[in-house]
Amino acid sequence: MNPIQSFKPLALAAALCAAAIGAGCAGGDPVANRTEGKTPAIIGIPSDSVEKFGGQAGIDVWVDDLFYYILADNRINTIFTTHGHVQRQMALNKELENMVMGGPAHYSGASMSAAHAELGLTLTQFNAVVEDAYLACDAARTPYHVCNQLIAALAPFERVIVSR
Amino acid sequence: MKGSRGSKLPFKRVAAVLAMAASCVGGSAHAGWFDYNDGKVFLTEGVSMADGAAGGGAVPWAVIAGNETRDGINGNVHFTYVSLPNYSALIPGAAIGFFDRFELSAAYAILPTGSTFDTVGLVNSVISGSSTSSTIGGVEPWNTTIKMQIYGAKVRVFGEAIYDSDNWIPQVAVGGFYKINQNKALLETLGANKSKDFEAYVAATKIFFPISTAIDITARYTAANEIGLTGFGGPNGDSRKVRFEGSLAYLLAKNIAIGGEYQQHGNNLGGHSVNLGTSSLTSVTNTLAALGLNGASTALTQQHESSWADIFAAYAPAKNLSFTMAMLDFGNITFTPNQIGFYLSVAASF
Ligand code: HEM
């Protein structure tokens, strides 16, 4: 085989890489910084996701369960007890989760970058919240497949929430 | 959490050097020289593939072994058992993942060939006039066992398999294996060109949460026959080529995945009979016929090597323990067709 040929995938990889970094810089990440609209996940979040979650009432239960697990999680709970405003965060998350899955709610809080910038969060801490999110789905008996619609909708926020 | 539990591990000096290298690639500084971390989400490290890297069962993925995130170091030990009609394989291995960026792996494949090479071995003994345990052409009269060391390294280049659910850019990693098959004489008998060789690959992995599905596509630059267990290249020389492989996994629950895999194989040895000493089998057909072994020549001609396919279920009862079960269809392997069997693999990370 021609050695030049075998390097083609690498060259393509490098080009894609540069494109990805470029896209990330331009406009300061429009998806992860937005405060309105459904998350434009690839393949698409089904339009009945909010309904499958049990509507706003079901999302409210899920957020209550989420904060129960977060405050019981010794890996991250002190961040919330020292820097958080849990009542406000719960109310805002109830709006946000509805919004990102394509529901009608209006989110009235700060952008995810603004809300978390000062906290210096790590990916390890972010993943702890992801695990608590799945536990909250289990607690609310939200099927795994439905839970993944919310995960798809929240995942891009990682880019601005994790700053270390 | 940092630098606490891992500090007792023996590979700390190597780890420190690699950690520095990895943190350069990652572009972030780390305080400790050994940052133990177990922050990955369930099953997002994949499982351990046959060559020892993180992946599916046979296909290396772009994910990095171990439960660590970009914040630290983790690793796994794994053990795989394969059962086929004419072969079995035992593959213990271990891998270390540095900052979810760089992976080192080692595995040791032990493949008792059971009945397969007994025929070759017996014919050898007959031709050589020895009825006892003479080893000719690397084949024992009974149960020749193939052994192969596999060393691997992988680096994540770009892309985000998990978090970037809003773009199609997959997580891409490049990696390689260096494989040392210890049965040089047997490989010569089979007509393989080399007993040691490297393989290089590019893997692209992406999880699609809206459909709870993970997909990997890998291109491997290799000359391997049966992943190297029957050597590299054939009688017509070394022919390293790009071959494709892929996995599709449907996530049934946060700790259960089911799916299938495909791995393209080459055909370096198909149609080639065994080489006995300096002569190929064809020249001793008369001797064999005189011994009433008329069919031996056809029985000892290697079949067209088949590509591999499997369907699997992976289950992680705890975040740091996974079991993978698979049904395999490996088709023709050396002389023997219809190699349909099963695979069981256990991986523990720390
Ligand atoms: C996708 C994941 C996350 C989402 C959707 C999310 C959502 C939110 C929302 C809606 C707020 C309120 C913003 C406001 O007050 O206007 C907030 C604040 C906050 N979040 Fe998160 N968050 C996420 C991850 C995390 C993680 C991983 C941590 C820490 C481990 C964290 C800790 C905090 C804290 C401490 C505040 C309060 C900040 C303040 O009041 O100054 N969040 N988050």
Chain A hits for B207, CB-CB cut-off 8 Å, are none
Rounded average pLDDT over A23-39: 78
Q: Hey, what amino acid is at B175?
A: G
Q: What is the CA(B18)–ligand 1 centre distance, in A?
A: 34
pLDDT tens for each residue of B91-128: 999 999 999 999 999 999 999 887 777 767 666 666 66
**CATH label, A35-161, candidates 2.40.30.170, 1.10.490.10, 3.40.50.300, 3.30.200.20:** 1.10.490.10
**Residue A84 has which token pair?**
């958080």
Q: What are the beta bridge partners of residue B108?
A: B149
Q: What is the CA(A97)–ligand 1 centre distance, in A?
A: 12
Q: What is the pLDDT of residue A5?
A: 46
Q: Does the Cβ of A115 fall within 6 Å of ligand 1?
A: yes
Q: What are the residue boundaries of the structural domains of chain A, listed by start?
A: 35-161
**Residue B194 has which token pair?**
């080399």
Q: What are the beta bridge partners of residue B202?
A: B174, B219
Q: What is the pTM of this model?
A: 0.85
Residue of A nearest to B161 (CA): A155
Chain B hits for A13, CB-CB cut-off 8 Å, are 157-158, 172, 174, 202
Q: What are the beta bridge partners of residue A145?
A: none
Rounded average pLDDT over A100-125: 97
Q: What is the CA(A19)–ligand 1 centre distance, in A?
A: 30
Whether ipTM > 0.90 holds is no
How many beta-carbon pairs under 8 angstroms link A with B?
Answer: 105
What is the least distance, in Å, from the CA of A90 to any CA of chain B? Answer: 23
Mean pLDDT, chain A, integer? 88
Low-confidence ranges of chain B (pLDDT < 50): 1-11, 14-15, 17-30, 131, 133, 278
The answer for residues whose C-beta is within 8 angstroms of residue B340's C-beta and 6 or more apart is: B84, B85, B327, B328, B329, B330
* Fold held by B5-349: Porin (2.40.160)
CA distance B43 to A105: 33
In angstroms, how far is the first alpha carbon of chain B from the final one? 14
Contact A10 B254 (CB under 8 A): no
Ligand 1, closest atom to CA A161? 24
With contact defined as beta carbons under 8 Å apart, do B110 and B144 qualify?
no
